[in-house]
Amino acid sequence: MRAIILQLAVLACTMTLIGCAMQPTATPEVPKGSLTKSYKLVDEMGRESGTLVLQPMGRAELRDADGKLIGVFSAEQGFSSDAKN
């Protein structure tokens, strides 16, 4: 009887560890009310190939499909959209 209880305890611990290992990794979520905007990039086959994240101060981040940072874009200094000719 003692051996059966021990085996069940080991099985329960193993199942718990497997369950924890299979938890999906959460992507960072933008807080509600944030001015940050995210856009999914889709290739010609319709698969998600990355993400473009636009920050409120003119900065943008380009990330691949795995969420790894590829590059950062920032507004050019002295640039104005109200330029006069």
pLDDT in tens, 4-38: 888 888 877 777 767 666 655 555 565 666 788 88
Gap between the Cα atoms of 75 and 81, Å rounded = 11
* pTM, 2 dp: 0.49
Q: What is the DSSP string of 32-76?
A: TT---EEEEEE-TTS-EEEEEEE-TTS-EEEEETT--EEEEE-PP
41 in Cβ contact with 50 (< 8 Å): yes
Length of the chain: 85
